[in-house]
Structures are given as C-alpha cells and as structure tokens.
Structure 1
Amino acid sequence: MLVFAFPVLFVAALSCLYLHLVTKLSDHNDRNTNRKNLKPRLAWRKRPVLVKGPLGVVSLTELLFLTMFMGLLSWSLYSYLTSMFTDISREAGDNHQQVWKSKLEMSGLAVGLVGNICLAFLFYPVTRSSSVLQLFGLTSESSIRYHIWAAHLALTFFTAHGLCYILFWASSDQISLILKWSKIGFSNLAGGVALLSGLAMWVTSIPSIRRKIFELFFYTHHLYILFVVFYVFHVGFSSTCLILPGFYLFLIDRYLRFLQSQQRVRLLSARILPGETVELNFLKSQELNYNPTSIMFVNVPGISKLQWHPFSITSSCEMDHQKLSIVIKSEGRWSSELYKKLSSSSSISMDRLEVSIEGPYGPVSTHFHRRDMLIMISGGSGITPFISIIRDLLFRANESLDTPRVLLISVFRKSLDVTMLDLLLPVSGTSIDIHSLKLQVQAYVTKEQGPSPDQNLIQTKWFKLDPLDAPVSAILGPSSWLWLGAIITSSFIIFLIVIGIVTRYHIYPIDHNSDMIYPSAPRAAVNMIFTCISIAIAATAAFVWNKKNKDSKEMRQIQNRDSPAEARTMSDSSWIYSDERELESLPHHSFLQFTEVHYGERPDLKKILSENCKGTSVGVLVSGPKKMKQEVAAICSSGFAENLHFKSMSFNW
C-alpha cells in the first residue's frame, strides 16, 4: 500500500489543490486580459501521425506513450518468463515433460502479472472528476479510448492467463481445480468468475454490438463490480494494491455521481426543432461555472431509470448566469422517445418532466480565444460542442476582448437539420451584438437540393414549476477541487485507521502476522468493505456540508426567478419567459447574413483549410463522423500548413 497506493493518492490530492489555484488564476486571466495569440511552441507533440487504423487518429505524444507502455509490458513479460524458466530448468533437470508443464503454468502466471499492469491504468480514464487526468490537461470524455486500449490489453492477457492454467490442469488431470476456492492464497473459482464477467463486457463492447444494441452494452458493463470483487477474492487484497489507486479514485467519483443523481433538477423549457432535435434549458445555480465543450450526463426516469447519456453543454456560463442548455438529436431509441414525448403535446405549457443529471464535466481551462483563427468542422449533431464555443466568443467580443476569426463548416444530411444553426445565438433577454464577432458560417446539405418549407418552424414549450426541483449545481460547490482533495485525503486516513484497528485487535490475535492462517477471502472482504465505508463517510460529509450552504442560496434564486408565482396560475408559467418569446425568431434572421448554405454537395476541406491557414496559430476543431475526423487529421498532418493545430471534439462510446 505504501509503494503502490499512497504515492498516486498523494499526487491526486495535491493535484486538487493545484487545479483549484489554476482555476482561479485562469478565470482571472481569461476574463480580464486581451491575450490572444497562442504560440505554437511544441505544437508538433499534438500533430496527428496516425490517421487510419484500429487506433483511430493518434497524435505523436499518444504514440510515444503507447510505445513506451507496450515496451513496459514486453519487458515485464520477458523479465517474468526469463526468471521463472531459469528456475524451472534448474529444478526439473532432464524431465522434459515436467519442464513443459511447469513452463505452461509459469507462462499463465506471467501473463496474469502483466495483465495487472494494464488493469492498474484501466479506471483513470473513466473517472470523470479526475484530478490526475486534469493535471495532464486531459478530460474523461477525451480519454475514453485509453480505457478501451487498456481494457483490450488487460482482457487479452487475462484470457491467456486463464487458458494457460486450464491447459495445464487438463494435461495434469487436475481439471477439477477450476472450481477450487482455496482458504489461503489464490482462489481459482473467483478468478474464473472475474474472467467470465470481463469476457461478457469485452464481447458486448465490440463496436458492431455496442452501436446496434447499446442497452446490452450499457447494462452488461455494470459487471465491472462483479469483476473487481472476484478479482480481489482471486489474488487477495495485498496484491490488489497495484490497481487500488485508480479504482479508489473511481469509487470516490462514482459515489459522488450517485449522490448528485438522486436530485431532480429544474427543467425550464424545451425548444423543439423540425429536424427531430430538441434543446433543453435548465435552471442553473449562479455559482456553477463551467468551460466551453463541457458535457453533462442526463437521465430521464420516464424513459429509462438506469440509462445515462452524455450531451454537450451548448450554453455559455458567461453569457447566461441562470440557465444551462443541452441539445439532443434523435439518433437512437432513447433520444427518439424523448423527442416524441416532448413534441407530442400541442400545448406550450407542459407538466413537469423528471430529469436527473451528473456533471457538468469539462476542461479546467480553454484557450480557443487565443488562436488567430478557429476553423470548426462538424457533421450532423457534432455541431453541439461548437455552439458553446461560439457563444463564449460572442460574450468576449461584446466585452471588447480579443477574439479570433471563426469559420464554421457544418455538414448536414437534410435541410431540416440546418435549423440547428439557430441555436448558435441563445434565446434570452441578453443584448448580444452578433456583429462584434468575426464569424462566417458555411452549411452543406448533402442529401437534398433545396430548403425545406418547414425549416423555420421552431416550437418552445415551458414546464410547470415544482418546488422539489433544484437548479443544476456542482456536487461539491464552487470549490469542488478543494473538497475533492479533502475527500481523497480524509477517506484514505479513515481507511488506514479502521483497517489498522481491525488488523491489530481481530486479525493479528489469530494469525500473528502469518499469511497462512487467517483466510484470504474474509481478509479481502474486510478491506473492500472498509474501503467503501471510508469513502462513503468522507464523501457524504462533504456533500451534506455543501448542500446545507447551497440550499438557502438556491431557494432565494428560485424565489427571485419565480416571484410572484403565487399570483399566477401554475398551468401558465410562460409569463416568466416573456423575454424569451420576444426573441424566439431573432437567431434565424440574425444569422442568415453570416450563413452560406450549399445544397447537394460536400465541402472541399483541403481547399477550405489551405485558403484559411494564414496566421500564426489556426485551431482546427473537428466534431463528427469517423471519416470526417480522419480526412481533416490527414490534411493537418500532411505538413502543407505547419500552423494548423488539429483537435478532435467528438465524444465516442
């Protein structure tokens, strides 16, 4: 625990303090200075070097780290096998059959040990509020593929580990050992259960299955609980310390997400677009701050109580202090049912729709405004992360702060989808001069030759108020990073104290520090139980403390916004949003002068990028299908323009 667990948790706690200071400093610099130019220093590190292949678009930095990681695995496997085979040859002598069987057994042990290395890195990318990821400038949504890579490697090694032992037992007429649960040491049955759970998750994560039967993938992935529990029973808690830091941080994050998900949030309105797209507007706590490209996970119990889906936040924290917006396009069964539920009613006022959220999650700071130019290329619903960037730049431009030139290239299949461009300007009472931002929009409709007659029909529906709903807010308040660091530190200290007491007064009187007396399974169970209890105590205390402080503030905010609701009928709450109704048609007419729509054609991305690559630093942001990302990445990595800086904004499961 001192060697493997403590150093990482110590770094995670210090990272929380660092990120808290960086957030404050970044907010001050970004909002009060005119620094724009982002020097292309060491920009070659993020330049794509692999565009096509099973790994997707890979930058030079990612390729270097992946190469080093594979080198670590190869060296570890070689080191284990060399040491073990030497001992076998020395002990077995001329008995070649015994040598073969022993080498097969030791090979299984070696690949299992190497699989542990992969497993040690498995949970970091899926920890959404991870100070370790943010320390390296990463977010969970941008690191999902690292989780996929580590999972593929881990399950490959663990499968080989299981097969080697099955072959060894079969060749030695000991196949019944598969069902053996040893009192002391390794438990074969527990390892088999863990491996079967891992294989079920592995098979259902195949892209063809995950995309066609997402629910099967989603529900099966919850077997990670069974996998981890029986993995600990299989190897013992002491051997689990290698993977403990990543899973410990994941447990803290998962429990905080559970606490946040129990609160229903206040849904104010829904803007329904003809292209089967809907914008949901939530009441937001004024203390909640987030950066452009942040995401939020949404659950609608009326559709599914278990399913959570991520969506890009399209509102600007600077532009609108009381509302938070997301855009959902009907592309699957869950989103289609939500759209039908919202569009089926003809009334502008609807009953309350229960919604729970987790998040928001996003980068600690962004530097989009420091480029000379931003070229945003989107496909279909991939435009959503760019909406928040443009709204943020609109705010900066109206504050007389330096902003880059912006070129938005949006590709849609149908003309009705072009109405998503209307979401670039928020429907709010804020007076925004859209001419202050140097913005150009080019839309391409690939499947149709002209505009749809229903393109301008946008409906807005308001939801009835419910005093039980709360504004969207950070689970740990405005100082989330400090509180997260306190939870990591205090929970680990609680765990050490509790497990020390249990060891001294319960385990030690039985085994007297001998690993061959006290059963392995109860020891592992005690450690797992008290790990969870320690995290629950620390996280719950932090949650309750912050909830008491924010409840009074949120109640005043709701009362100020809803007042004088007592004098109005609850069935007609649209009067609260009268300022929005007056501006409902403004975005479409205002952005027409910036938009050039091309029907029946696709953009020539290479030509567009070559014509707009002038400037010290040009950011090329892509959000869309895989082929689009590969095409843009190939152009940016070709070397014809060294100042093009590629960044993928897509969030792929």
Structure 2
Amino acid sequence: MDSAAPPSQASGSNAARAVIMAVLIVVFAGYLFLWIMMPTNPYRLTWLPDLRKETATTYFGTNQGATYLVLTFPMLFIAALGCVYLHLGKKSREIHTERSKGEHKLATWKRPLIVKGLGIVSRIELAFFLMFIALLVWNLANYLSISFAKITPMSAAKSGEKVWEAKLESAGLRLGLVGNIALSFLFFPVTRGSSVLPLFGLTSEASVKYHIWLGHIVMTFFTTHGICYIIYWAATHELSEMLKWEKTGVSNVAGELSLLAGLGLWATTFPGIRRKVFELFFYTHHLYILFMLFFVLHVGISYSCIMLPGFFLFMIDRYLRFLQSRRGVRLVSARILPCQTVELNFSKSKGLSYSPTSIMFMNVRNISKLQWHPFTISSSSKLESDKLGVIIKVEGKWSDQLYQMLSSPSSIDRLDVSIEGPYGPASTDFLRHDLLVMVSGGSGITPFISIIRELVYTSEILKCRTPEILLISAFKNSADLTMLDLILPISGSPSKFSNLSLQVEAYVTRENEPTTQENKGIRTLWFKPNPCDAPITPILGQNGWLWLGAIISSSFVIYLIFIGILTRYYIFPIDHNSNKIYSSSSRAVLHILFICIGIVIASTAAFLWNKKRNSKENTQIQNMEGATPVASPNSLYYNADRELESLPQQSISQCINVHYGERPDIKRLLFDRKESSVGVLVCGPKKMRHEVAKICSSGLADNLHFESISFSW
C-alpha cells in the first residue's frame, strides 16, 4: 500500500522537481536550437570551427569532442537528470482529486482529431508533428540553398559534370543529412523503460505511433538519398563507386548494405503485412541491428554521434530487458473462459508497483522461444499486492496454441514463462473526472478492468472519492459476456461495494437472445510451484529510476574512458607519427565495442546488486506459496476451490445490463451525461475508436474529455 509522503517532504520534493524541470527545459531548448541553426552559415562557418578548436584533444580527436558536447551530452544529461526527477515524483506521489487549473485551457488542444495516415491524434500531437516536419523542411531548404548557390556552369565544368548532375549529387548528400535528424529521434519512442518519455507525459506503448511516423520519414529520406547517388553515378559513368569501401571518409558499400537492411525492415511494417503476417514483421524488424551497424560504418563514428543518444538509451533498455527475461517467472493460476479467453495470474513481489493500463511482454517457451507478445495488465498492484494478471483472447496462432494447451483435458501443470516489464504511465489522473465512460469492443475491455480494480481499491480501501464508472462493452456472442466475470480478481477484493458507483452496459451484437449451450462456468487452473521460477520483481529494485540514472551516467563514462585511452595511446600515434591513417571502419567498430562494454558493465552490476537484494523477498514468497494446498490441476474447476470470489461477483452482476441484437448508441450515451467532467476512454476496433474520437472532438459537448490510451497501432 502506497502512503502519501509527509507534507514537508512532499513540498521539498516538489520544489526540487520544479528546479530540475526548469534545468531540463533550458537544456532541451538549447538542444533544439542547435538543430535549427545547424544548416546555417553562422553555425557551419563560425560556431562549429571555434568549438572544434576548443574541444580538440589527443583523447577524442579534432571533431569528436565537439559532437559529444553539443549533440550527445545534452540528451544523455536530460535522461540521467530526468531519472532523479521521476524518482522524486514517485516518492512524493499523492492522490489528487481536484482538476488542475490549467486543464480547461488545454482542453481544446487535447481534443482528438482523425488525420488520414496518422490515425487519432490530439491537436497538441499534430502541432508538434507539423513543427518537426517544419524543422526537416528548414534544414533541407537551407542545405540546398547554400550548396546550390555554389554550383555554377563554370564550377560544374571544372569537375567534368553538368549542372544538374552536380545539383543531384549535392541534393543526395543533403537528403542523407536531413534523414539523420529523423534518425536521431527514432529510438526514443521505443525505449520502454525510458526516463525521457515520462518527462513529456508519454509512455512507450502510446509512443509507438511516433516511432512509425519517424521510421517512414527516415526510410523515405535515406531511400531517396541512395537513389540520387545511383542516378548520379550512372549519369557520370561511375557505377564502380558502388563497390568502394574507402579506408577513410564515407564507405559506399556500407551505406548500400545499411539501406538494403532498412528496406527489408521497412517492407514488413505496413499495416496490411504487419497484422496478417506478424511473425514475418517481428523477425525482419531485427534487421535494425544490421541497419545501424552499417550506418555507423558508412558515415563514421564522429557523424554517428549526432544520433547516438537515442540509440544509446535504447541499447541500455534492450540489455536490461535481456537480463530480466533470462529467468522464468512464477505462474500461479489461469482462469479459462468459454469464449476462448484466458487470464494468467503471476506471483509478484509487493514492492513491484505499476499504474493501471500498464503492459508487459510475455514469452512462453512451451510455444516459441523467440516470440514475444505484449499484453495489457488487468490487475491492480494496490488491490492485488502479490499477484499480477494478464488477459489473453485468442486472436492468432500463438494465442490459440496457448488456449488449447490450457483448456485441454490433459492440461500441463507448469508453463515456462518469461516476461519483460511492466511498462506504463508513471501515474494516472482518472480521479479528476466526475464520470469515467469506458467504451470497449471484445478484448478491449482488458485495460478498463485494471482501472476498475484500481478504483475499487481507492474507494473501498482508502475510502477516497472516485468518479462514477460507466462501462460500455460490445461483444459478438453471449459467450464473450464471461469476460465481465474477470472484472474482479480471484482474491483480494472486498466483499461489498458501498462507495464505488459502477454501471455496465453490455451489448451482444450477433445474438438476439441468451444461448444456453455456451453458459459454461469459468474453469480455474492452479499450477505447481517450481523452485527455478521467481516472482516478478522490479528489475532495478525500489529505487529503479536512480539506478537507471546511474547506469546511463556510468556506462557513458566507462565508454569515454576506454575510447579516450585507446585514442591517445594507439590511434593518435598511428595518425600523427607515421604515414599511415587509421581506418574509419576500424575506429567505428572499436567505438561500438566500447559502448557495448560500458553498457554491459554498468547494467550487469546494477542488475546483480538488486537481484541479490530481491532474493530474500523471493524466498519468503516461495515459502508462503509452498504452504498453500495445491490439488491436481485437472480437478480445480470453477467453484471447486476458493469460493471467496462468489460474493463480489454477485455485487458485480447487479450492475450489469445486457442488450441483445443491437449495437451501443455511443453518441446518445455520451451526450446524455450531464456531469461537469466526463473522461472518455476507448479501446477496441479501429472503427469504434474513430467513432468515439469524432464525438469527443465535435465540440457539441464541452464536458467530454477524450483520454488517449493507445493499445493498437
């Protein structure tokens, strides 16, 4: 149970957070200002040369130090200091029941828009997207303007080219430079444990759409960049340039290999392919490793450091996920529904907390050792302090195999499961509304179950005011109604709901009346404990944000120390005391190697330290579970064991109205609500999401506030 911090401590933390945020805003504004100035003559001809003179050392060379200082260090500084900001926020978190003063002013900007090609976006998101496009256009226009001004018939004739050929070659180069701007931001949205995204109020799941937008932009610029050079070489009869791998400078072969890997990855990202052949998309997406490797070999490490911060943070996150996924987790039970849906309940440490609507990635080695699938967490870390649950509905081969494995008469007594996560918002603010309207279709009810359970805890345990809840759920068949039985957990929920106002309007669209053949009860399957499995624990412990900040800082320092020593005592003597020039590719490979070494050393040390501290709590949890009577999995059916859930389920059933043979009139249901603040959430098919977004963006009802929750991209 999270307790609020004392007033003095909370005010001190808030003051410190305000100072830190001010510093972060100043640094980020300066970072963006550099991107704006980069293509201009003052930056290229004055600022950058002077900066290189001031930072030139025998440890990092002539150009490397300047790039570290102005383009690599600021974002890593923001990420590390942001960890401190988030840690202080976690310590001083309190329950807020009043709406923020600035909310009304931002209400118009938060209203959703449906933009073709972008999906549902808020006005704020659209404004930032247009500003980013303006940044790219500004850079490209300035680069082309300055370079084209130098191309004249006379200058082209001296180099044996035509004017259009010289301009084509120059345009190809500048397209690559602008593409690198988008690449610099590409990996921030998919860094799941990011400390940067929460600073902007974002989660990795909701930011996947930004990654998709940036990915299309990156590949468009880089593909055009490559085509321009191929046409240029063909026009000037220099196609042999495609086979050159220069010892210094740009390597053409590496660039072509990078582009081919990127095209292979890009081809499978379009919705038609990604949704129909997910496995192909999943496996080909790992081509990003070759894409980034050959990109660094193509342009050299000095220029690659421009995009290094985002990829560096992604690599740290990816390695931490690898460490977390090495050990199996303790699967306690499964609730099997007749609608081809299963709820898996895992053991977790009480120190692991997460917000409603969080997700986690799961791998079941019994099905596939390589496939990882994301699932929304249905449990509440406050209501169920020692359990974590996810709901999985059959929607593909992988989920069908899992369901068949658990629902067969000869069900196995153990699943070999690994997880990554949980990941989710740092906090949620649903309490600021008078009414929460949740609109779901099919399995889209899952995130709303986690919200309802959280509000059950807030209203019944903490005795705090909570908004009224209206859950509007559309199902295809009456068998799917059993998903409503998962609103409450197997155990841990109070027997009565005197403070929570919940109303469920369920719609069965393909049946005109209840059917009896599918009215089977929920079957509960209990798994035998295994000593090799462990409860789910926070990978970096209770002070995870501070540990992450330490990892970011120390891993980069380790990298700088190693590369500084290597450059000073090995590369520098070769470049300056002999007729040889050290290979750019070899230099880039060494930088990549030492980046990986720094990340592995810092992350492994932090992981092992926290694993040792968590081991005592894990042992206590396993001893308690071992004392729990566990019968044969095949005999534990619904109501055959642990009937403590019956009373709460009776309370829930009184709140449910079922409508057969019709679809919900969402517009009427929303406009009929007269509360001053109505939070509207939607999760389900694309058509449903767009319908709700249009209603909330119409402006016909000022009390509707669309709460953006992204689970489909």
Q: TM-score, normalised by structure 1?
A: 0.95
For the structure 1 residues 77 and 203, does the alpha-carbon distance in structure 2 shift closer, same or farther, using more than 3 Å as the test? same
Q: Distance in 2 between matches of 1:592 and 1:515?
A: 84
Post-superposition Cα deviations, 1:413-442, rounded to whole Å, max 9, x if no partner, equal: 111111111111111054342342111000
Q: Structure 1 residue 218: deviation in Å?
A: 0.3
Aligned counterpart, 1:609: 670
Q: Which amino acid aligns with 2:672?
A: E
Q: Which amino acid aligns with 2:484?
A: L
Post-superposition Cα deviations, 1:377-397, rounded to whole Å, max 9, x if no partner, equal: 011111100001000101111
Shifted more, 634-643 versus 256-265: the winner is: 634-643
Contact 1:422-1:587 within 8 A present in 2 as well: no
1:535 and 2:595 aligned? no
1:214 and 2:278 aligned? yes
Q: Structure 1 residue 513: deviation in Å?
A: 9.8
Q: Structure 1 residue 585: deviation in Å?
A: 4.3
The within-5 A match list for 1:3-14 is 3-14=70-81
For the structure 1 residues 471 and 513, does the alpha-carbon distance in structure 2 shift closer, same or farther, using more than 3 Å as the test? farther
SS at match of 1:121: helix
SS at match of 1:528: helix
SS at match of 2:335: strand
Instruction: Give the unaligned 5+ runs of structure 1.
Output: none
Q: Structure 1 residue 94: deviation in Å?
A: 6.7
Identity %: 57
- Aligned with residue 526 of structure 1, among 560, 585, 590: 590
Q: Which amino acid aligns with 1:13?
A: A
SS at match of 2:186: coil
SS at match of 1:299: strand
The within-5 A match list for 1:87-486 is 87-89=150-152, 92=155, 98-345=162-409, 350-398=412-460, 399-453=462-516, 454-486=518-550
Contact 1:180-1:187 within 8 A present in 2 as well: yes
Q: TM-score, normalised by structure 2?
A: 0.87
Post-superposition Cα deviations, 1:615-649, rounded to whole Å, max 9, x if no partner, equal: 33211011111111111111111111122111232
Contact 1:297-1:308 within 8 A present in 2 as well: yes
SS at match of 1:189: helix
For the structure 1 residues 545 and 570, does the alpha-carbon distance in structure 2 shift closer, same or farther, using more than 3 Å as the test? farther
SS at match of 2:152: helix
Q: Structure 1 residue 204: deviation in Å?
A: 0.5
Q: Which amino acid aligns with 2:347?
A: L
Q: How many residues align?
A: 641
Shifted more, 273-282 versus 640-649: the winner is: 640-649
Q: Which amino acid aligns with 1:192?
A: E
Q: Structure 1 residue 189: deviation in Å?
A: 0.7
Aligned counterpart, 2:25: none
Q: Structure 1 residue 507: deviation in Å?
A: 0.4
Q: Distance in 2 between matches of 1:256 and 1:389?
A: 28
Contact 1:37-1:372 within 8 A present in 2 as well: no
SS at match of 1:103: helix
Post-superposition Cα deviations, 1:354-390, rounded to whole Å, max 9, x if no partner, equal: 0000000011111112211101001111110000100
Q: Structure 1 residue 586: deviation in Å?
A: 4.5
Contact 2:494-2:648 within 8 A present in 1 as well: no
Q: Structure 1 residue 652: deviation in Å?
A: 2.2
For the structure 1 residues 569 and 515, does the alpha-carbon distance in structure 2 shift closer, same or farther, using more than 3 Å as the test? farther
1:510 and 2:574 aligned? yes
- Aligned with residue 58 of structure 1, among 113, 121, 142: 121
Q: Distance in 1 between matches of 2:91 and 2:578?
A: 51
Post-superposition Cα deviations, 1:150-173, rounded to whole Å, max 9, x if no partner, equal: 000000000000000000011111
Q: Distance in 1 between matches of 2:339 and 2:282?
A: 27
Q: Which amino acid aligns with 1:644?
A: L
Q: Distance in 1 between matches of 2:611 and 2:184?
A: 34
1:500 and 2:561 aligned? no
- Aligned with residue 21 of structure 1, among 71, 85, 88: 88
Q: Distance in 2 between matches of 1:460 and 1:67?
A: 51
Aligned counterpart, 1:44: 107
Q: Which amino acid aligns with 2:436?
A: L
Contact 1:197-1:226 within 8 A present in 2 as well: yes
Contact 1:12-1:485 within 8 A present in 2 as well: yes
SS at match of 1:73: helix
Q: Which amino acid aligns with 1:388?
A: S
Q: Structure 1 residue 86: deviation in Å?
A: 1.1
SS at match of 1:357: strand
Contact 1:375-1:407 within 8 A present in 2 as well: yes
Aligned counterpart, 1:553: 617
Aligned counterpart, 1:652: 712
Instruction: Give the unaligned 5+ runs of structure 2.
Output: 1-67
SS at match of 1:305: coil
Contact 1:629-1:648 within 8 A present in 2 as well: no
- Aligned with residue 641 of structure 1, among 695, 701, 704: 701
Q: Distance in 2 between matches of 1:213 and 1:474?
A: 33
Contact 1:429-1:583 within 8 A present in 2 as well: no
Aligned counterpart, 1:631: 691
Q: Distance in 2 between matches of 1:514 and 1:329?
A: 67
Q: Distance in 2 between matches of 1:305 and 1:331?
A: 19
SS at match of 1:431: coil
For the structure 1 residues 624 and 569, does the alpha-carbon distance in structure 2 shift closer, same or farther, using more than 3 Å as the test? closer
- Structure of greater relative contact order (alpha carbons < 8 Å, 6+ residues apart): 1
Post-superposition Cα deviations, 1:5-42, rounded to whole Å, max 9, x if no partner, equal: 1010001000000000111211xx12xx6x24455333
Q: Distance in 1 between matches of 2:579 and 2:662?
A: 71
Contact 2:496-2:651 within 8 A present in 1 as well: no
Post-superposition Cα deviations, 1:241-264, rounded to whole Å, max 9, x if no partner, equal: 111000000000000000000010
Contact 1:43-1:645 within 8 A present in 2 as well: no
Q: Structure 1 residue 408: deviation in Å?
A: 0.4
Aligned counterpart, 1:590: 651
Q: Structure 1 residue 188: deviation in Å?
A: 0.6
Q: Which amino acid aligns with 1:16?
A: C
